Structure 1
Amino acid sequence: MNIIESKPIGKIILNEHTPKRSTRIEHYLIPYYQRGYRWDEENVTALLDDIFNFMQSDEKKYCLQPIVVVPGKDHNGDNIWEVIDGQQRLTTLFIIFKYLNKPKYQIIFEKRDKSNDFLEKLSEDHYSDENPDFHFMSKAYKETKKWFEKKTENDVGFIDEFNSKLTKWVEIIWYQIEELADIEDENERENRKIDIFNRLNIGKIPLTDAELIRALLLSKIKHGLSDREAILRQSEMSAEWHRMEQELRNEEFWYFLNNSPLEETSSTIEFIFKLIASNSDKRYSTYLWFEKEIKATDPSVEKIKAENLWKTTKEYFGKLKYWFKDDTLYHHLGFKFIFEKKPLETVKSCIDNANVNKSAFKKWAIEEVKEKIRGINLDDINYEKHTHELKQVFLLHNILSVMNAEQNGSNRFSFEQYKKVELDGGWSIEHIHAQQTKEMKEEKAIRKWLDETYKSIKDIKETDFEADALANEFENSVEVLANEVNEMRQSQSIDFNAFNELKLRVIEKFDSKSIHILDNLALLSFKQNSSLNNAIFAVKRRKIIGFDKEQQFIPPATKNVFLKYYSDNDLQPFFWSKADKENYVNDIKKKLHPYLTPTT
């Protein structure tokens, strides 16, 4: 089984297992199938800056990216490491040590003897652009020299301090592939190495924390088992791993817990490892935490620790799955996760609070929602001052509307669809009746407004308005306005002033006179909202129905608004009436009442 551990840089130069050569250092073979050294000045400077920044910090250790090696033998029968991944870092570190005139390992480029000789002789007096290897090695040395000359200008001890920190406290993740040792056929073994190289390099798929943790656990749990027992135990763990990985790839499950895109996640189980590990966001910190937790002088103790961590992983997964399956926890925790700036920490706090019976945890989850909307007053909330609070209110209203729906089929709010919209432009607060917006002066947009408005009002009769609308003093009837809109849409040119005066009269005709308060607001995506600007209710209704037919996600309560769901006796489709408004707000208040703190 493969070996994985973190090693100080000094240990990849010389360690207790280094062969006793004439110069006792480790040897690294760069196989023929890899391209040569290609790091430019920016890569070299970035590595040096990272190490320097670590020196200035309070951190005890700093970890570089992994190197992947396969053990082999040189012509003398001594151990040599074939580098499958990590050539660029190893070569750059070699060049740094060469400039510092400090002990270093040896690098051997297979079938590129000139590159071997050039790297050994590389100095400020020995640059060359004869081939790509020479060119990039020369540039790396020049950049290293330039960087150190600036740092040592006023500090004679900097080089010794840098070398000490680099060799003792900067670590590299050492991934030693042992599985190839069982392959007797040399060609098959070579092909397998090339396959691994292609995956890590050509495919641009770096080793993730999850892959490193998997290798670590698999390597530790086999201790004390026979070969057959080890294979069975590792196969069992691999099957459990695969099941959890696949279940977390269920998009509804993933987006219930996460606010980040699933397609950008190479391993979903890594989310659980991050929950378990008490670590930072630094590169490979999750793996390093697991390695530290498992590390012991006794392999049998390491096995127990690895088994316990795997058991914890399964327990965490079990809790997350239970939350996802239970409707009460799914909706209340899902609401909580959306508004947290650090969702991973929030999920971890939920796990910490879940060590009670199921009933008590559900009560806790409900209280967390109450805490989220504490202090919101539905009678005072408005568009101009409380956008964030309105989003909370409308999201919770949508969730509760789905939870309480008496219908067949799904009764779960889709956090997947909600978060996909959040990632693709976000959510906004839509005015059910149009705002008194700025004048329109772009002819294409104007003609679109005229076409959409005419289609929506051409068949409306004045008698279709109910009493509260007719009580207002209207300058024109619907029929007159529709004729004016039609006449203007058919004209060869548009008089902008005349259009904006007509638009204002149309909006006022269909406006219920409440703009920025709860009864005239709903939740809609920014992209959908932008296409509804300046539109009257009847136009918006047609578009919302169109979005729904296209299977775009419309929050269920928003859909209910435009389908006139909240008023049984008011079926006219073109006006958001006083009754509609009252019933809509009453529904919000009724559903949110158990969660709102009383106002004084």
Structure 2
Amino acid sequence: MSNPSAAIELRSVVRLLTDENGDQAKYWVPSYQRGYRWNKIQVFQLLDDIWEFIQAGDGRPKSSFYCLQPLVVKKMNDGRYEVVDGQQRLTTIHIILSYLKDIVAILDRSNFQIDYETRDATFLHDIDLDRAGENVDFYHIGEAWRAVEEWVSKHSRPHALKLIQHLLNDDEIGQNVKVIWYELTLEDDAVAAFTRLNVGKIPLTEAELIRALFLRRAAKDDLTGSLQLRIAYQWDRIEHSLQDDAFWYFLQNSGTTTNRIGLIFNLASELWNRPDVGDDHSAFSHFADALQGEGTAEKNWKKINDIFLALEEWYEDRYLYHVIGLVLHHSPRSEMEIGALLTDSRQSSKRDFRAGLRKRILRLIFDKRGELSTDEIRQEVDEQCRMVSYTKLQKARKLLLLFNIATLLENEKSNIRFQFDSFKKDTWDIEHIRSVSGERPDNPSAQKAWLQHCLAYLRTDNAAEAAELAKAISQFLDEDATRADDLTFEKIDGAILIYFKEAQEGGDNALSNLTLLDSRTNRGYKNSVFAVKRDILLKNDQAGTFVPLCTRNVFLKCYSSAVGNVTFWTKDDAKAYFNAICRTLTKFMVSSEVV
């Protein structure tokens, strides 16, 4: 909806009171809009939010302000403004100023006027609670009036004065309340805009507001239109790139299908030290200020584009993609981490930047800070890997994910990349490689599901023992068949463990018996024997389900020096797997490779 010709700015509430000639401002609400519908809670929330902002005034910079949602208007031929979006907020401000009109008068101000195409405006301009029951519009206006009355009664009169002083502060620098003023052009269709914003429930995003700021400033700075076209082209390229989930989930841990470009503006606000970064519309307010002067469009857009190009460079560099992707995955506030990384990359050499990334991983995964020698890193990796168990799932996930990343980076000639998008869109379990005796299914439905997985595998085995065991399982699962008294789940379970050589020594909870697996696959064959797990996982891999490289390697027994029978997971296999984890993590953490 953003229109480069539309007027868009931050406008203090006091500027809503008068038009450009200094006369009383008049707003007109057309018939396509519903009436006023805010309730007491919404009015309380607005007043409380403004009051909280006022109370924190001493701790805020002078330029800070409380920002209301956009007010979308269109100038009419008679000088009035047609209210396209924001009627509820505008009316609430009118009610607040009406209730405290004596204070407003002391400040030598007067309220603005609101008229309606099909409704009576006299009640709003002279609220009489005795008439509040006459229709639904009067009722809600009356309730809002009572809410203001109740809020003021809970505070002192000086507090009410302070509220109005901030609400009507005409200092354009800040310490007041502002709205995002979005004025459509005469050519814009107000009804279509209203439909988009209200009926379709597609509000103006902050990105659209910022786009309008840039294009409007560019039109003033360059009359040829070439700057506008360049910004519009690069904007579309950035938006298109960020819609690629592979790129987006490299940077972020959660998905959003709209306004992904907002990430770039949030980063810009953070890098340029906005004190209110993180507040609603903080990025917009930053650019509303930054684009005030002549020639500011190209300068500020270059900063935006430079941020995107840096992120794109990280994404295209295979080493940086994996290491930065890992860092951001483990960062509780990825935007702040990206900002810090951007700063580091600009202030450091390529070699130092990459060394700094490994230090971040050492801190995030191993909880170690400062420089460690090769021997200290080797010892730390070995100790932490030995300490990890199935009871420490978060630590196990971190180490196993790092193992996957480090394994991929061992082969510099490979073009395989870890799928952060597939990984982050799914939920992941830490799965036992070899079954654990204490986790056998304990209810009939789970037992049947477990046996069905085993049966499916045994039917592919040509051994006579497998056929005999499959026959016993089939009899147990057939509810209509006559079943021998001693044919119990426990007996069949024991026979299965003997056949797959998992009876004598059950798998343990150490890292050497753990791997990453998506929750759907894991819970589908919960605690099956190794051979069954292997069969299901490889079929999923062939079908296109994302299986982490090291998980696939485990079930292919790639870490075992002597493969032997691929259907069993032995102590030697577990030992070789554990040693591979320690060796790979140590090599990655001490690596001096920076090219």
Q: Same fold (TM over 0.5)?
A: yes
State whether residues 314 and 321 of structure 2, in contact with CA within 8 Å, keep that contact through their aligned partners in structure 1. yes
* C-alpha deviation, 1:407, in angstroms: 8.4
Q: Show the counterpart of 1:586.
A: 579
**Structure 1 alignment gaps of length 5 or more:** 184-188, 296-301, 464-476
CA distance in 2, matches of 1:366, 1:156: 58
CA distance in 2, matches of 1:67, 1:549: 54
CA distance in 1, matches of 2:486, 2:162: 73
* C-alpha deviation, 1:210, in angstroms: 1.4
Q: Show the counterpart of 1:306.
A: 297
Q: Secondary structure at the match of 2:177?
A: strand
* Identity score, percent: 29
State whether residues 345 and 353 of structure 2, in contact with CA within 8 Å, keep that contact through their aligned partners in structure 1. yes
Q: Show the counterpart of 2:152.
A: 148
Task: Identify the range of structure 1 (56-65 vs 515-524) with the bigger mean alpha-carbon deviation.
Answer: 56-65
* C-alpha deviation, 1:446, in angstroms: 1.6
> What do the CA deviations read for 1:451-501 (whole angstroms, capped 9, x no partner)?
2223334666899xxxxxxxxxxxxx8787656544433355999994246
Q: Secondary structure at the match of 2:431?
A: strand
Number of residue pairs matched? Answer: 546
* C-alpha deviation, 1:556, in angstroms: 1.5
CA distance in 2, matches of 1:218, 1:496: 81
Q: Letter of the aligned partner of 1:46 in structure 2?
A: Q
* C-alpha deviation, 1:277, in angstroms: 0.5
| 1:388 has 2:389 as partner | no
- Give the one of 225, 245, 249 matched to 1:251: 245
> What do the CA deviations read for 1:164-222 (whole angstroms, capped 9, x no partner)?
122224423333435x24x4xxxxx5xx2222222222221222221222222222233
CA distance in 1, matches of 2:545, 2:120: 59
Q: Show the counterpart of 1:473.
A: none
| 1:177 has 2:183 as partner | yes
* C-alpha deviation, 1:83, in angstroms: 1.6
Task: Identify the range of structure 1 (440-449 vs 453-462) with the bigger mean alpha-carbon deviation.
Answer: 453-462
| 1:68 has 2:106 as partner | no
Q: Show the counterpart of 2:30.
A: 31
State whether residues 432 and 527 of structure 2, in contact with CA within 8 Å, keep that contact through their aligned partners in structure 1. no
| 1:362 has 2:350 as partner | no
CA distance in 1, matches of 2:361, 2:582: 15
CA distance in 1, matches of 2:281, 2:217: 19
* C-alpha deviation, 1:142, in angstroms: 2.8
Q: Show the counterpart of 1:471.
A: none
Q: Show the counterpart of 1:503.
A: 493
CA distance in 2, matches of 1:435, 1:104: 77
CA distance in 2, matches of 1:398, 1:220: 48
Task: Identify the range of structure 1 (357-366 vs 309-318) with the bigger mean alpha-carbon deviation.
Answer: 357-366
Distance 1:541 1:220, change over 3 A: same
> What do the CA deviations read for 1:397-453 (whole angstroms, capped 9, x no partner)?
212333345987x411111111111xxxx2221100112235644322222222222
- Give the one of 537, 543, 553 matched to 1:544: 537
State whether residues 73 and 182 of structure 2, in contact with CA within 8 Å, keep that contact through their aligned partners in structure 1. yes
Matches within 5 A, 1:61-140: 61-74=65-78, 79-101=79-101, 102=104, 103-112=109-118, 114-130=119-135, 132-140=136-144
Please tell me the root mean square deviation across aligned C-alpha atoms, in Å: 3.0
Q: Letter of the aligned partner of 1:369 in structure 2?
A: I
* C-alpha deviation, 1:52, in angstroms: 2.5
Distance 1:235 1:31, change over 3 A: farther
Distance 1:174 1:371, change over 3 A: closer
State whether residues 437 and 534 of structure 1, in contact with CA within 8 Å, keep that contact through their aligned partners in structure 2. no
State whether residues 450 and 525 of structure 2, in contact with CA within 8 Å, keep that contact through their aligned partners in structure 1. no
Matches within 5 A, 1:189-588: 189=188, 192-223=189-220, 225-226=222-223, 229=224, 231-263=225-257, 266-278=258-270, 279-295=276-292, 302-355=293-346, 356-374=348-366, 375-376=380-381, 377=383, 379-404=385-410, 410-421=415-426, 426-438=427-439, 440-457=441-458, 484-490=472-478, 492=480, 498-500=488-490, 502-503=492-493, 506-507=496-497, 509-510=501-502, 513-567=506-560, 569-570=562-563, 572-588=565-581
CA distance in 1, matches of 2:11, 2:479: 78
CA distance in 1, matches of 2:401, 2:190: 52
CA distance in 2, matches of 1:526, 1:411: 23
CA distance in 1, matches of 2:194, 2:530: 60
Q: Show the counterpart of 1:472.
A: none
Distance 1:136 1:558, change over 3 A: same
Distance 1:147 1:379, change over 3 A: closer
Q: Letter of the aligned partner of 2:559 in structure 1?
A: Y
> What do the CA deviations read for 1:3-47 (whole angstroms, capped 9, x no partner)?
2222221221147x344xxxx421111123222222233322222
Task: Identify the range of structure 1 (498-507 vs 311-320) with the bigger mean alpha-carbon deviation.
Answer: 498-507
> What do the CA deviations read for 1:251-306 (whole angstroms, capped 9, x no partner)?
1111111112132xx222211111111343221111112223444xxxxxx13333
* C-alpha deviation, 1:65, in angstroms: 0.7
Q: Secondary structure at the match of 1:221?
A: helix
Distance 1:236 1:26, change over 3 A: same
Distance 1:218 1:460, change over 3 A: closer
CA distance in 2, matches of 1:390, 1:365: 21
Q: Letter of the aligned partner of 1:81 in structure 2?
A: Y
* C-alpha deviation, 1:67, in angstroms: 0.5
CA distance in 1, matches of 2:10, 2:486: 70
Q: Show the counterpart of 1:2.
A: 6
Distance 1:109 1:268, change over 3 A: same
CA distance in 2, matches of 1:320, 1:450: 49
Give me the TM-score of the superposition, normalised by structure 1.
Answer: 0.83
CA distance in 2, matches of 1:224, 1:521: 61
* C-alpha deviation, 1:596, in angstroms: 4.4
> What do the CA deviations read for 1:131-165 (whole angstroms, capped 9, x no partner)?
x322322232233323333x14xx23232122112
Distance 1:407 1:443, change over 3 A: farther
CA distance in 2, matches of 1:486, 1:222: 77
Q: Show the counterpart of 2:369.
A: none
Task: Identify the range of structure 1 (478-487 vs 555-564) with the bigger mean alpha-carbon deviation.
Answer: 478-487
CA distance in 2, matches of 1:441, 1:383: 23
Distance 1:573 1:521, change over 3 A: same
Q: Show the counterpart of 2:374.
A: none
Q: Show the counterpart of 2:376.
A: none
Q: Secondary structure at the match of 1:437?
A: helix
**Structure 2 alignment gaps of length 5 or more:** 170-174, 271-275, 367-379
CA distance in 2, matches of 1:460, 1:570: 19
Q: Secondary structure at the match of 2:277?
A: coil
Q: Secondary structure at the match of 1:47?
A: helix
CA distance in 2, matches of 1:571, 1:235: 65
Distance 1:361 1:548, change over 3 A: same
CA distance in 2, matches of 1:406, 1:565: 19
Q: Letter of the aligned partner of 2:398 in structure 1?
A: Q
